[in-house]
Structure 1
Amino acid sequence: MNKQSIPTIGQIVKILRGKDAGQLAVVLTQADNKFVYIADGDKRKFDQAKKKNLLHLETQSYISSEVVNSLMENGRVTNGKLRHAVMMSRQSTESHAQEKGD
């Protein structure tokens, strides 16, 4: 869960800066070594993916195989799959917190 690591396609990231700070989103593509395009399927749709600086993101351990497969097959992903990936990430984070007794 390092801020500096370059996230992979389909990985969940937590937004640290900007008006969406604190929100989770899915990495869609890598623009270059400093930027990626992200979307959450809700406020930020696939067609209006946001270009974000990697320094403003914190990678999460969850990677959505559904999003990865969809992007590989047809270069697109539905907003529903993005929302589902974010929801699944939230649930896995909450279950880890409960296991640790936080």
Structure 2
Amino acid sequence: MIPQVGQIVKVLRGRDPGEYAVVIRIEDHRFVWLADGDHRKFDQPKKKNLNHLHLQETISSEVASSIRETGRVTNGKLRFAIAKFVELMQVEAQEKGE
């Protein structure tokens, strides 16, 4: 799967495994820049190897359009996109369990 700006990813390796973040920039075919709006702000993103990430199918249209239009995104939008994704995952897990 090819990463896209605004895509939610799960970190598999590094200092914060299991955390979710959003792709805010694509470096090349191996690296992307991530931010979560909380621990890792937009102004200080983390460069991560794609091999250390699990790309989710969800792409935040709000984040993608904001970056496309202005070149930036607020940390609040990043937090909101991740929270919405986590909430959706919990709902799906509950439905499967019932």
Question: In which range does the TM-score fall when normalised by the shorter chain?
Answer: over 0.9
The aligned residue for residue 92 of structure 1 is: 88
The code of the aligned residue for 2:80 comes to H
Q: Distance in 2 between matches of 1:94 and 1:65?
A: 20
Contact 1:64 1:85 in 2 (8 A): yes
Provide, for residues 19-47 of structure 1, a one-character-per-residue CA deviation record: whole Å limited to 9, x for no partner: 11110000011100000000000000000
Q: Distance in 2 between matches of 1:94 and 1:35?
A: 29
Specify every segment of 5 or more residues in structure 2 that has no aligned partner in the other structure, as ranges.
Answer: none
Specify every segment of 5 or more residues in structure 1 that has no aligned partner in the other structure, as ranges.
Answer: none
| Superposed counterparts of 1:1-102, under 5 Å | 5-101=1-97
TM-score (normalizing by structure 1)? 0.92
Instruction: Calculate the aligned-residue CA RMSD, in Å.
Output: 1.0
Contact 1:71 1:77 in 2 (8 A): yes
Q: Distance in 2 between matches of 1:6 and 1:72?
A: 18
Provide, for residues 24-77 of structure 1, a one-character-per-residue CA deviation record: whole Å limited to 9, x for no partner: 000011100000000000000000010000000001122111101100110000
Structure 2 residue matching 1:98: 3-state secondary structure:
helix
Identity across the alignment (%)? 58
- 1:7 deviates by 1.7
